Amino acid sequence: MLTRDQKREQYEQLRGVLADATTVFVLANSGLKVNEVNDLRSKVRAASASYKVVKNSVVRLAIDGTPMEGLTPFLKGPNALAFTGNDAVVLAKVLRDFAKAHPALSLERAYLEGQIVDAEQARAVAELPSRDELISKLLYMLQSPIRRLVVALNAPAQQLAQALKQIAEKQSER
């Protein structure tokens, strides 16, 4: 059992860490083995995120008075938090893939960019393209009209070059 001072220290530390988070996933994690949790932690870390198992009472104190306070009613049973201040989609994909292989882990709720969402919506985030994918698609779409313009402007010059080449070939045949 934690003393009041230990709880205060934990919740102040957690509050500080969550202050930078734009996304927090609440995960039910009953039945995961230590090796599986370590594997999950390393995968979450690779996604520039964090994974913490913290007492629900400490989490309640840490999110009290913050926009994440809406998660409080869902903090029941053995839970863990996965959170990031970076791309939520990357973290959601890591959690989805891990949960497929380890049914003992399940997504319960999430705080995404200021909104509390249910498990189904949180899982749907994993189906979205990542921020980097969206940026590359946008750049491709912006580049496409320019590329078509260059091709259209070069077409008459190419046609003239083709015609001159054909004339030169006919001249050389004579």
pLDDT one-digit tens code per residue, 27-38: 888 788 889 889
Q: What is the pLDDT of residues 77-125, one digit of tens each?
A: 888 899 998 888 889 989 988 988 888 888 888 898 888 888 888 888 8
Residue type, 42: S
Full DSSP string of 137-164: HHHHHHHHHHHHHHHHHHHHHHHHHHHH
Which of the residue ranges 49-53, 55-59, 118-122, 154-158 has the most confident prediction, judged by mean pLDDT? 49-53
The domains of the chain are located at 4-128, 129-174
User: Whole-angstrom Cα distance, residue 36 to residue 8?
Assistant: 29
What was the pLDDT predicted at 162? 80
pLDDT interval class at 25 (50, 70, 90): very high
Instruction: Write out the two tokens for 5.
Output: 């001072």
pLDDT interval class at 39 (50, 70, 90): very high
pTM: 0.70
**Residue among 50, 51, 59 nearest 86 (CA):** 50
Asked whether the predicted pLDDT for residue 159 surpasses 80, the reply is no
CATH superfamily of 4-128: Ribosomal protein L10, N-terminal RNA-binding domain (3.30.70.1730)
pLDDT interval class at 142 (50, 70, 90): confident
Q: What is the pLDDT of residues 69-79, one digit of tens each?
A: 888 888 888 88
Task: Tally Cβ neighbours within 10 Å of residue 101.
Answer: 9
pLDDT averaged over every residue in the chain = 83
